[in-house]
Amino acid sequence: MFLVVRLATAKKRVLEIINSAKTDNRKELLEMESKQLLEAWGIPVNRTLLAKDVNEAVRIAREIHYPLVAKIASPDILHKSDAKGVIIGIGSELELRQAYNDILKNAKAYKPSARITGVTIQEYLPQAREIIVGAVQDPSFGATVMFGLGGTWVEVLKDISFRLAPINVEDARDMIKEIKGYPVLSGLRGTPPADIDAIVDLIQKTGQLAYEFPEITELDINPIFVFNTGKGVMAVDARIVLGEGK
């Protein structure tokens, strides 16, 4: 019963976020919204709060604690790194004030017409193995879920696996083992194994999300940090594109 109520609440929250973007006539959610949506769906995300001005950024920083990550929030800038809109490892208030201004300046230089919502202040996570989990609506097969090692490698190596959603535990486990890079996760030369169960759960939830909401035409959670067994996973960036659905 509890689960049913929780699922209903999650669905309601996801729809709220989707509808709010639709009302604004936006096809792509802001990073902040994507993360709120994932969080509502039970997918862990790093703490991300929106600062509309530099003083708000400083206030948020006190709550989240240094070191921090700051990223541009704009519906018109999809590739934040290309716009030099991401600064990581911010260690103090002084650095944060500087970073905030730099990010705004860079964004304006990159695309003068861009609407700037603000800057997101995010929890900085220790280095971990990175994975990517995504979903697309295939015109013939419907909701499909994708898995691969994260970072820039995924684009070059195309070492990714697919399944139809929704997906059971066994298939999710197979998906992880199927990629050539699997030893990176299972533990190489004395590295402790990554939290595979948490990845399985994440893949299943992502699949379920795409299956329940055909209007989510593209979903990319990249990167997701994977910690050692028992320590879980955490989504650090996410991109959600909306379409007509079925």
Partner 1 sequence: MTVELKTLFEPKSVVLVGTSKLEKEDKVYSNLFHHLVQNLASFKKGKVCVIDLEGEIGGSYKNIGKISNGQDLALVLLPKKTLYKNLQKLLARQIKSLVLIESNLEEKLIREIANIIKRKKMVLLGPSSIGVINTANELFAIPEKMQIRKGRVAFISQDCCVTYNALDLAKNTGISKMASISDFIGSDESDVLNYFSRDKETKAVCIYVKKVRDGRKFVKAIQETVPEKPVIILNGGAEKAKIFEAAVRQAGAILAHDIQDMLNGAEGLVRQPPLRGSRVAVVTNLDGQAALFEKYLFEEGLELARPAEDTAQKIKKKYPSSKMSAFVNLGAAAKADVFKSVVEMLLSDDNVDGVIIINSLKSTLFSIEDLREVANVAKKSREKPLVATVLCAGDNQAVKKIILNTELPIYYQLEEAAHVLNMLRTRGKQLERMNKARNP
Say if CB 14 and CB 7 are below 8 A apart. no
User: Does 15 engage in binding with partner 1 (CB under 8 A)?
Assistant: no
* C-beta closer to partner 1: residue 110 or 211: 211
Task: Judge contact between 69 and 122, C-beta under 8 A.
Answer: yes
* By the rule CB under 8 A, 219 interacts with partner 1: no
Give Cα 179 distance to the centre of its chain: 21
Consecutive H or E run containing 133:
strand 129-138
Min dist CB 105 to partner 1, Å, is 42
* 7 near partner 1, judged by CB under 8 A: no
Query: Binding to partner 1 by residue 186, rule CB under 8 A?
Result: no
Among 42, 44, 67, 142, binds partner 1 (CB under 8 A): 142
Beta partners for residue 145, in sequence order: 135, 163
The nearer residue to partner 1, 144 or 208, going by C-beta atoms, is 144
Binds partner 1 by CB under 8 A, chosen from 138, 152, 157, 187: 138
Query: Minimum Å distance from CB 142 to partner 1?
Result: 6
**Residue from 84, 123, 151, 162 binding partner 1 (CB under 8 A):** 162
Contacts 24+ apart (CB under 8 A), 8-13: 9/40, 10/40, 10/41, 10/42, 11/212, 13/37, 13/40
- What minimum distance in Å lies between the beta carbon of 175 and partner 1? 8
Closest alpha carbon to 233 in 28, 38, 14, 15: 38
